[in-house]
Amino acid sequence: MPPPRSPAGPERLGLPHEVLRSLLGAWALAACSTAETDAVEEHLGECGACADEARRLREAVGLLHRPESLEVDPTLRNRVLENCLRRRPPRVPVPDWAASYDAETARLDALLRDFGDAEWHTPVRLRWFESGVPATRRTTVAGVIAHLLS
């Protein structure tokens, strides 16, 4: 029968200094197993050189994960198109009065291309007025698009 585990903490791995030092990069990236993490953190309390290295690695990891917005600048599309059209004008230009419609159509096209199968079946409640009386209808996103295409 194996000896009982100590209730004070996880089982020690008993890894040598060189192995623990080689785990510092993975530890800084939070890629170690729980046992490895515990062993590295215990070692950091005992070894000043590894503690300094671990601090530098954690700071470096902080530089790798800069929070950046995934939102695209809303004027980017127009700037790119204007630059392209300056070089090569369209065969059929979009009238000024239709520019906003063209932009919204492009946004809708981009949105629909990103839809997954489940999103097409999302319930939608349509509301409108018929002869001044409120009317409603339940459908799905696919139903709305089908109606717009008809």
Residue 98 inside a domain? The answer is no
Name the domain count of the chain.
Answer: 2
Q: Which residues of 108-121 are buried (b: 16+ CB within 10 A; e: fewer)?
A: eeeeeeeeeeeeee
Give the structural domain span for 141.
Answer: 121-150
Residue 100 inside a domain? The answer is no
Residue 106 inside a domain? The answer is no
State which of 31, 47, 64 marks the end of a domain: 64
Residue 89 inside a domain? The answer is no
Residue 1 inside a domain? The answer is no
State the average pLDDT over residues 38-54: 90
Q: Quote the CA–CA distance of 12 and 38 in Å, as a whole number.
A: 8
Residue 120 scores a pLDDT above 90 = no
Residue 111 inside a domain? The answer is no
Residue 108 scores a pLDDT above 70 = yes
Residue 131 scores a pLDDT above 90 = yes
Task: Read off the pLDDT band of 22 (50, 70, 90).
Answer: very high
Residue 21 inside a domain? The answer is yes
Residue 27 inside a domain? The answer is yes
